[in-house]
Amino acid sequence: MGDAVENVAQLSAAVKRYGSTLALAGVDLGVRRGEILALLGPNGAGKTTAISLLLGLLRADSGEACLFGMDPALRVARQRTGVMLQNTSLPDTLRVGELIDLFRSYYARPRTVADIIALSGVGDLLDRRYAQLSGGQQRRTQFALAICGCAELLFLDEPTTGLDIEARETMWRAIRRLVDEGCAVVLTTHYLEEAEALADRVVMIAKGRIVAAGSVSDMRARVASRRVRCVSTLAPDAIAGWPDVRSVARDGERMDIVTDKAEAVVLRLLQEDAALKELEVVRAGLADAFVEITREAA
């Protein structure tokens, strides 16, 4: 129980089935105070199920879920959280300003309206009916509603899906500010650059199991491969057959070679192509780590 009290949220050996589908196969997951934890995994990995257990929306078949050391179904625990889920149903006819007032009324110490608007950027939407908003505007409104209380823990399930670049950056800035105030954030995303930009810690889930956990740089370090980029006249199929080359992608005259032995590949490129240009070697990103770790797990 010690861990569960120190962590703001905790799953211990959590198992969840839907009929014959094993969605979570014994997951241990702690969320620390004030951290941004990114849950990554392919479609159907179990990310939403994990969040739903932590929020008390679902019960584990076995194992335990704790929120602030309490049963997540208790209102007193849930009141300390803010939530933005993928499928949110809201009263369509209410205007955005009215929804904010309604959500603020759920909390004993709500955030000020001015602060909610500054963080979420919905100032221009207050008089608009929710049902008439675009997908991206609805997403921004859902974020505004998630931060109506001064939550100690925010659950954001794919918060920036469908947002344009400016709206995404506004949300990233808001998330960082909330974390500076001491809020912890659990984020699921399919945008690896989002996890790379925000997360203190990454947990990768595949088929209901945690397959890797650590900082973004820990994840990168688990991947030995490098990318060799260049402009070359050599045939990609020929390079794909070289030892230690994992893949070759060609975009116009540019080549992107993934390899475990960058030095050997660079040497051979220089030997075989006198016209080689714009050579660079870059380390693996989170996207490479993700592909490799989930492939290992499969």
Please identify, using beta-carbon distances, which residue of 7 and 49 lies nearer to ligand ATP: 49
For the bound state, the minimum distance from the C-beta of residue 291 to ligand ATP, rounded and expressed in Å, comes to: 16
Q: Is 23 exposed, middle or buried (0-12, 13-18, 19+ CB in 10 A)?
A: buried
Positions in the binding site for ligand ATP (CB under 6 A): 18, 21, 23, 41, 43-49
Please identify, using beta-carbon distances, which residue of 23 and 257 lies nearer to ligand ATP: 23
Q: Which two tokens stand for residue 95?
A: 């205007």
C-alpha span between 117 and 148 (Å, rounded): 10
For the bound state, the minimum distance from the C-beta of residue 13 to ligand ATP, rounded and expressed in Å, comes to: 17
For the bound state, the minimum distance from the C-beta of residue 273 to ligand ATP, rounded and expressed in Å, comes to: 41
Of 147, 105, 102, residue with least CA distance to 122: 147
Strands 184-188 and 36-40: parallel
For the bound state, the minimum distance from the C-beta of residue 23 to ligand ATP, rounded and expressed in Å, comes to: 4
For the bound state, the minimum distance from the C-beta of residue 220 to ligand ATP, rounded and expressed in Å, comes to: 22
Q: How far is CA 260 from the centre of its chain?
A: 27
The identity of residue 20, as a single letter, is: S
Please identify, using beta-carbon distances, which residue of 49 and 138 lies nearer to ligand ATP: 49
Please identify, using beta-carbon distances, which residue of 262 and 293 lies nearer to ligand ATP: 293
Overall residue count recorded for the chain in this entry: 298
Please identify, using beta-carbon distances, which residue of 53 and 100 lies nearer to ligand ATP: 53
CB 188 within 8 A of CB 43: no
Residues 6+ apart with CB under 8 A from 211: 204, 205, 293, 294, 296, 297
Going by the DSSP 8-state scheme, the letter that residue 108 receives in this structure is: S
How many CB atoms within 10 Å of residue 280? Answer: 9
For the bound state, the minimum distance from the C-beta of residue 47 to ligand ATP, rounded and expressed in Å, comes to: 4
Please identify, using beta-carbon distances, which residue of 41 and 82 lies nearer to ligand ATP: 41
SS3 234: coil
